[in-house]
Structure 1
Amino acid sequence: MLRAQFSAEDRVVLLRRHLDEGVPLTRLAAEAGVPVRTLRRWRARYRDGGTVASLQRTPRSDQGKREVPQELIEAVEGLALRRPAPTVAFIHRRIADIASARGICAPSYSTVRALVAAIDPGLKTLAHQGDSAYRDAFELVYRRSASRPNEQWQADHTLLDIEVIDEKGRTARPWLTVVLDDYSRAAAGYTVFLGAPSAEQTALALHQAIRGKANRDWPIMGLPEMLYSDHGSDFTSTRLNRVCLDTHIRLIHSQHGVPQGRGKIERFYGTITTELLPHLPGYIPHSTRGRPISAAELKLEQLDGILETFIVSEYNQRPHSSTGESPVQRWGASGFIPRMPAHPEDLDLLLLTVATARKVQRDGIQFASTRYVSPVLAAYVGEQVTVRYDPRDVGEIRVYFNDEFLCRAVAPELAAEAITLEQLRGARAHRRRELKQQLRDRRSLADALPNDTRYAPPATLEAPLTPPDRTAAPELPNRLRLRVYETD
């Protein structure tokens, strides 16, 4: 065993055998593989101190320090922070040339590599990748976690990595809009659709999230205190602002171009992409550049049903890795009563944006090749009314007369069916100013270094040949000259 492998306790055990049991030092030295002179030095230190601490190894005074001149360290940092980032081998060659020119001992390759690795990662990211990459990777993020259910909901869209068959038999990639409870991670509502995201699709997802579900295993409902989304046109629409104002929901948008803070809903999308979609026909892995690995077979309605089954039966029921509880249990564990709209019909008017005009007939309202009836309609035969409906539940429609809720009409054959934001911004701005000042200092040092002449061609001693003057007109023979009257 080497001396460096002996701890202070091991040294005490050896010395106690010598002091208490009388074992000679020569025998202990042979058994432990330690020189007798070293054992005598340990014995003297132990007798003076009398404790285990007296046998601790004394750290070197220059531990962690490099005998490299400060000017070379700054030169290494200045070269490493240039864009594009040079290799360590290039930096080592340049530093070796500079040290040789200044009569300084050149640092080794490992020393230069260690100096480059010791540069602040944030400073390197800012130097090589710019402000956006530094912000996304290193700036403080104001992540507010909800303390109770329905305190904050998040809403966002994603383009699913799957192809479905539309009404015309063509393949298309659907979009998914999800409303997620921040506290429990439970999916409160969603909608899947074809075409670009719009305020109508957002309203439908929010409508499903707020209203009670027919599925008893999906109890998430009620009005949230806050709705957090990005700056998409559908989330900043006048309609959604009116919905939040009338239902006393505080609408919050993330900063432009700053995706942090929506990681929980992005993680939900990752779960859908990795755990559900690979098992469906028409799945598009990222490595195939938009090409599905199998032919599309599902229609949009079928994918809608599969998503609801996965959300209700699997995602909302299993324990979440961050909370340790299933989203449904965490949402209802406190036994709170969710805040519901005072007038559900007004919520339908605001959120069910799919509207169409119809005339009340004697047998009810004909809509989508289906007859909808209600006793209230008997007094409005021949009147023009507005019909609003949920595209995913056509078992009933909402009927409005002069923008006032009239009744619900049912289709009989379908009826069975700790730091403030200001402080955070100030800290981020201060940190960025510091890094930019360091970056300017390092780059100025690198610019002040002598030019790289390591492989420059040697200067020639011969004077270059004088190129012929091509501007002067060539001398032509008399027979080729232009004849003028004076020469005739």
Structure 2
Amino acid sequence: GERLRISRKTIDRWIRAYRAGGFEALAPIPRSTEPVTDRRLLELAESLKREVPKRTAAQVAEIIGAAEGSGPSSRTIQRHFARLGLNTRPDGSPPQAFGRFEAAAPLDLWTGDALHGPVIAGRKTYLFAFIDDHSRALVGYRFGVSEDTLRLEAAFRSALAARGVPKCCYLDNGSAMVSKQLLRACASLGVRLVHSRPGRPQGRGKIERFFETVRIQFLVEIEARPPDTLAELNRLFSAWVETVYHRRIHGETGEAPIDRLLAAGPPVLPTMAALHEAFLWSEKRTVTKVATISMHSNVFEVDAALVGSRVEVVFDPFDLATVEIRFQGRSMGQGVPVKIGRYSHPQARPEAAPAAPPTGIDYLGLIVARREAELAEASKPTDYAQL
């Protein structure tokens, strides 16, 4: 326990109280004060809150002032609502209890999210990351310049290739995380994809806590020494994760995240062929009467037996000139290009190419030097002896 110093005056007061009333006299006397505010106004405030539970204390105080001419302050009404249990939720209902949860084993559950990162080379960056719920290890991560499906898939694909295939992946409802292409990738690998309910972020606490660690331990160093390129930013972040975060004892689990992740042995990794198939994109098209399909300004000829059928077109988003036609889950061969209008998907925007190294040639400076040389030559006095 904690050591305390008691004054002689306090001890004498306790002795007098004990002799006068016994042990019960030593118990502190509970405070009981009558509210100074008119009880009628407090009852009116309670009635107004129960009438419309979404009314705030400030709104109730405004209504009472308009109806009665004057009334208690919003802070007084708020304390009154707290005593009655009316301010726990906007609708007046009791707060919902949330239990603590942790996955039973590694790869049972991954949680993914995105964090707004620093500005690099004049462009805003975003960190896509996936954390293993059981070990708190960061299984996949990548900074990108767009908050889109392509960058999310890049982080997810690196996680699958390095750490194995999880049973479940838990994401929010951002546009990149509800795309049909990500759903196809998860379905191909047997991963259950779950999205949180809008406005209910309680299940993503671990990834949010990790992002807070990134802000106060990594991004502060980036602000002091900003990298020149996105590749350099990813290199620095990878070094920090693998050297610092993964090897430090976690305050909740009592183990280093990487040790807890690998405690059951190395995971079973998917084959390269399985990963390639999972991250191909697909779209549905109806075969025309002339046995062709159109997709993003491209036209392909397909098997004539598929005329009028709804087929699945499978392709690499960076190579729209090559597509595979599937019907009812079976491959029907590749489409024969008839017209190629574009070679990449509209949503497949590559990262900006790094700036070319400077040559050191000052073209305008060379022109100025030549002009000054011409002026100097023209300003020389005429030597008539040489004429």
Smaller-chain TM-score bracket: 0.5 to 0.7
Superposed, 1:19-418 pairs within 5 Å as 43=19, 53=23, 55-57=25-27, 59=29, 63=32, 70-77=39-46, 85=58, 116-120=78-82, 123-124=86-87, 138-141=95-98, 144-160=101-117, 162-165=118-121, 171-198=122-149, 200-212=150-162, 221-280=163-222, 283=223, 297-333=227-263, 335-341=264-270, 343-351=271-279
* Alignment root-mean-square deviation, CA: 4.5
Give, in whole Å, the separation in 1 of the partners of 2:28 and 2:112.
59
Q: 1:398-445 deviations in whole A, cap 9, x for unaligned?
A: xxxx68xxxxxxxxxxxxxxxxxxxxxxxxxxxxxxxxxxxxxxxxxx
| Counterpart residue identity of residue 150, structure 1 | L
| Unmatched tracts of structure 1, length 5 or more | 12-38, 46-51, 99-108, 166-170, 213-220, 284-292, 354-385, 390-401, 404-488
Q: State the AA in 2 paired with 1:53.
A: F
Amino acid aligned to 2:158: Q
Please tell me the residue identity of whatever aligns with 1:306. L
TM-score, normalised to structure 1, is 0.47
SS at 2:211's partner residue? helix
- Deviation (angstroms), 1:264: 1.3
The percentage of aligned residue pairs carrying the same residue is: 26
Distance (Å, rounded) in 2 between the aligned partners of 1:235 and 1:265: 15
Letter in 1 for 2:239: T
- Judge conservation of contact 2:109–2:167 (CA < 8 Å) in 1: yes
Q: Tell me, yes or no, if the aligned pair for 1:175 and 1:196 is still in contact at 8 Å.
A: yes
Distance 2:244 2:280 in 1: 28
* TM-score, scaled relative to structure 2: 0.57
Task: Say whether the 8 Å CA contact 2:136–2:257 is kept in structure 1.
Answer: yes
Does the residue aligned with 1:191 lie in a helix, a strand or coil?
Answer: strand
Residue 381 of structure 1 corresponds to which residue in structure 2? none
Q: Which amino acid aligns with 1:117?
A: R
- Which digits, 9 at most, give the CA deviation of each residue in 1:57-98, with x for residues without a partner? 5846x8466587753431354689955717989989998978
The code of the aligned residue for 2:155 comes to A
Partner SS, residue 202 of structure 2: coil
Q: Name the one with the larger strand percent.
A: 2
Decide whether the 8 Å contact of 1:185 with 1:264 is kept in 2: yes
C-alpha displacement of 1:211: 1.5
The CA deviation string for residues 246-279 of structure 1, in whole angstroms up to 9 with x for no partner, is 3222111100232221121122222222211222
**Residue 147 of structure 1, CA deviation:** 1.9
- The 2-side partners of 1:42 and 1:326 are apart by 55
Larger Rg: 1
The structure whose RCO (Cα within 8 Å, separation 6+) is larger is 1
Residue 312 of structure 1 deviates from its aligned partner by 0.8
Shift of 1:232: 2.6
SS in 2 for 1:348: helix
Q: Structure 1 residues 243, 72: CA separation in 2 closer, same or farther (over 3 Å shift)?
A: same
- Which AA in structure 1 matches 2:269? M
Return the letter of the residue paired with 2:40.
Answer: E
CA drift of 1:152 comes to 0.4
SS of the residue 1:227 aligns to: strand
Per-residue deviation, residues 230-253 of structure 1 (Å, max 9, x unmatched): 123332233322332232221111
Take 2:256 and 2:18, find their aligned partners in 1: how far apart are those partners?
60
Shift of 1:311: 1.0
